[in-house]
Amino acid sequence: MLSRALSHDLPRSRWLAALLIAIVLGLAFAPLLFPGTKALNVAAKVMIFIVLVASFDLLLGYTGIVSFAHTMFFGIGAYGIAIASTRLGPGWGAIALGLLAALLLSLALSLLIGLFSLRVKAIFFAMITLAVAAAFQTLAAQLSALTGGDDGLSFKVPVDSRLASYYALFVIALVLVLALLRIVNSPFGRVLQAIRENPFRAEAIGYRTVVYRTLASVLAALFATLAGALLAFWLRYNGPDTSLSFEIMLDVLLIVVIGGMGTVYGAVIGSALFVIAQNYLQDALRLAAGALEGVPLIARLVSPDRWLLWLGILFVLSVYHFPTGVVGRLRAMSSRV
C-alpha cells in the first residue's frame, strides 16, 4: 500500500526513510509539538517550498532544463488568489475562480515559453526565462490598481481558524507531492530522464524531445502556480517581494542542490533543512553570542547580524560533503552496506 502510494519509488535507505518519516510527522503534528505563531509559519513555509522545489526539480533534475521563470508562475498563483479574494470577497467561489484564472494564465505562458524557447541552447533559454520573470515582476509592481503595487494586497479567506488552514495546507501539499512522484515514475517521467541524459539519442529512437520538454515545462509551471496559491491562502497577503522576488528563485536553486537533484525526496529534505536554518539560525547565533560574550573576537563572529555568512558557510559545507545532495549521499551509503 505504501509502495503504491509512493509510486514504487521507495527511499532505498534506512536513514533517508527515517528522515522523511520524521519530517512528515513533524509537519503533521507541528501545531501540537511547536506551539507559537513563528513555528506554525515556518512549518507552513516548509510545505509550500516542498511543492515549489519539487515542481522545479521536474524541470532541472528530471529533464535538465534550467529556467529562471519558475517564481513567475509561483507569483501568478499567489496573485490569482489575492486579486480574486480582494475583488470578490472571502468565499470559496472567489478562490476557485482566482485559482482557475491563474492556472490558465500559467498554462498559456509556459506553453508559449516552451514552444518558442526550448529549441534554443540551454544558456539562451535560461536568459530568456530570466528576462520574462524580471519583466513580469516589474509589471506586477506597476499595475497598482490591480495588484496593489509594491504594497501588495491583503485579503480574507473563508477559513478563520489558522489550525484548519494549516491542515488544509498539509493535506493539499501531501497530495501534490504524491502526484509529482507519480509523474516522475511514470513512462512519461522515464522519457524525461532519457532526454536529460542524452537528448540526441532520445530523439533518434523516436521521442519528440521538444514536445516532452514543453509538457514538462507546463506541468512544472502548473504545480508552481498551485504552490503560490497555497502561499497566498496561508499568508492572506501577496506582494511582488512575497512571491516574485529573485531571492526566492535563488533559495529554490540552493534547496535543489542541498536535497539532491532528480528526486522528489530531495525537495522534501532540502526544503525542511533550508527553511528551518533560514528562520532559526539567527536565534541560535543570538544564544551563542550571549554565551560567548566575554570572548570579543568569537562573539563578533557568531553575532546574529552575520547569520547570512553562516548560512553560506553551511551551504558550502553541505555541497562539499554531499555533492549529490543529502538524498544521493544517503542512498550511496546504503548501497555500500
- Give per-residue pLDDT as tens, 22-48: 999 999 999 988 888 899 999 999 999
Residue 294 pLDDT: 67
pLDDT over threshold 80, residue 254: yes
Query: Structure pTM?
Result: 0.93
Given a cut of 60, whether residue 337 has pLDDT beyond it is no
Half-sphere exposure of 315 (CA within 13 A, CB side): 21
The Cα–Cα gap between 162 and 290 comes to 34
- pLDDT of res. 290: 74
Least confident range of 46-55, 144-153, 230-239? 144-153
Instruction: Using alpha carbons, select from 179, 68, 87, 173 the residue that is nearest to residue 126.
Output: 68
SS3 58: helix
Name residue 15's amino acid: W
- Weakest mean pLDDT among 47-51, 122-126, 225-229, 247-251: 122-126
pLDDT tens by residue, 202-217: 888 888 888 898 899 9
Residue 280 near residue 286, CB atoms below 8 Å: no
pLDDT at 284: 83
Q: Report percent pLDDT > 70 for the chain.
A: 96
pLDDT of residue 117: 66
List b or e across 25-61, with b for residues whose CB sees 16 or more CB atoms inside 10 angstroms. eebeebbeeeeeeeebebbbbbbbbbbbbbbbbbbbb
Q: Count CB-CB contacts under 10 A for residue 239.
A: 23
Q: What are the chain's domains?
A: 2-336 (1.10.3470)
Q: How far apart, in whole angstroms, are the C-alpha atoms of residue 130 and residue 63?
A: 18
pLDDT, tens digit, for every residue of 160-199? 899 999 999 999 999 999 999 999 999 999 999 998 888 8
Helix (H) or strand (E) holding 16: helix 14-28
Instruction: Classify residue 278 as exposed, middle or buried by CB count within 10 Å of its CB (0-12, 13-18, 19+).
Output: middle
pLDDT band at 120, cuts 50/70/90?
low
